[in-house]
Structure 1
Amino acid sequence: MNRRALLLFLLASLLPAATLAQGAAKLPKPGPKDLCPVCGMLVSKYPNWIATIVYKDGHAHHFDGAKDMFKMWFEPAKYVAGHKREDMAALWVTDFYNLQPVDARKAWFVVGSDVLGPMGHELVALASREDAADFLKDHKGRRILTFEQVAKDLPFRLDDGKF
């Protein structure tokens, strides 16, 4: 491989990470009075659990955990009139280990662990499959799920302690 091809390959492989980091850098932080639209809790009191949905127009809703974010994802109009899934541009969750924003669609979620969020049993977000496997083992988790594997009823079952 010549030097030019190698340089183009490296640049292309770094571009998605740079774009993701740029998106996280633009992620609005919840203010001191921002309430979770699902449960009404003050979100800023729980910075280690913050999840955020950013809309195409730049508006954002913050949540006290991924569990409530998923409730909104599945039924946005139930929680905020006039909001639709089609208008959602990005979904972010806070990684349990490094406390940094992670694209929710690329995160791994552990359910049934001994770690509780602000509202009890939670979908604990992790940035990698390896971190999720370690967390599952260290915290007696039951399952690891991708974003697509989170079923509509799971956040409500977690409220009842059912995994």
Structure 2
Amino acid sequence: MRYLLGKFLPTRGLLILLVSTGLLVGCTENNQAAMVQQVVAIESGEECHLCGMIITNFPGPKGQLFSKGIVGNLKFCSTRDMFAFIVDPENRHNIQQAFVHDMAVTPWDHPDETTYVDARKAWYVIGHSKQGAMGATLASFARQQDAQAFADAKGGEVLGFEQISLQALVNMTGVH
């Protein structure tokens, strides 16, 4: 019996080592991808990926996203521009990660670079009275109750990420 266990344990040990190493490498690759896909500060003079406007020249929440086939993050002067990019059928299925400002904790006129949240988990107020880059934009919030409080104070409707469509963007007031 000892002879059989002695032969089995080294093979089993090697198998466990190989599986563990594979899992560790897989986790490391996923962590590296996640670490690379993080928001970065928007520098003075940077242009919106969609419209080319200087991002820091305008108030309201901004957006950043990562898309398959595009190196680096794409930065947007407004959540409206970011969603115009996202809902485009050519881009929709390529979005890997998206981020927006949490306007419950950052000033509308100068959004803070440290207040980005996962856009897919955020809540949005559409049709409110505040202005973003060249007009109407979606006010973004990490928590639904903050979005509702904003809508109660400034007007508008609270929507989740999946509820934002091209038609919703077209129906927004203001021209961009």
Q: 1:61 and 2:68 equivalent?
A: no
**Structure 2, unaligned runs of 5 or more:** 1-30, 107-114
Q: Is the 8 A contact 1:68 1:155 kept in 2?
A: no
Could you tell me which residue of structure 2 aligns to residue 135 of structure 1?
Answer: 150
Could you tell me which residue of structure 2 aligns to residue 106 of structure 1?
Answer: 121
SS at match of 1:158: coil
Q: Is the 8 A contact 1:65 1:118 kept in 2?
A: yes
Find runs of 4+ consecutive structure 1 residues off by over 3 angstroms. Answer: 55-58, 84-87
Q: 1:122 and 2:137 equivalent?
A: yes
1:89 maps to a residue whose letter is Q
Task: For 1:24-35, list aligned pairs within 5 A.
Answer: 26-35=38-47
2:52 maps to a residue whose letter is G
Q: 1:154 and 2:156 equivalent?
A: no
Could you tell me which residue of structure 1 aligns to residue 61 of structure 2?
Answer: 49
Could you tell me which residue of structure 2 aligns to residue 73 of structure 1?
Answer: 86
Q: Is the 8 A contact 2:61 2:100 kept in 1?
A: yes
- CA-based RMSD of the aligned residues comes to 2.7
- TM-superposition CA deviations, 1:89-135 (whole Å, max 9, x none): 21001111213101110111011111111221111101111101110
Cα 1:31–1:76 shift into 2, 3 Å: farther
SS at match of 2:171: helix
In 1, distance between residues paired with 2:51 and 2:170?
A: 12
TM-score relative to the length of structure 1? 0.70
Could you tell me which residue of structure 1 aligns to residue 99 of structure 2?
Answer: 92
User: How many pairs does the alignment contain?
Assistant: 134
Cα 1:101–1:76 shift into 2, 3 Å: farther
In 2, distance between residues paired with 1:131 and 1:41?
A: 29
In 2, distance between residues paired with 1:30 and 1:62?
A: 8
TM-score relative to the length of structure 2? 0.65
SS at match of 1:49: coil
Q: Is the 8 A contact 1:55 1:87 kept in 2?
A: yes
Q: Is the 8 A contact 1:93 1:104 kept in 2?
A: yes
Q: Is the 8 A contact 2:60 2:139 kept in 1?
A: no
SS at match of 1:153: helix
Following TM superposition, by how much is the alpha carbon of 1:47 offset from its aligned partner in structure 2, in angstroms? 6.7
Following TM superposition, by how much is the alpha carbon of 1:26 offset from its aligned partner in structure 2, in angstroms? 3.3
Could you tell me which residue of structure 2 aligns to residue 38 of structure 1?
Answer: 50
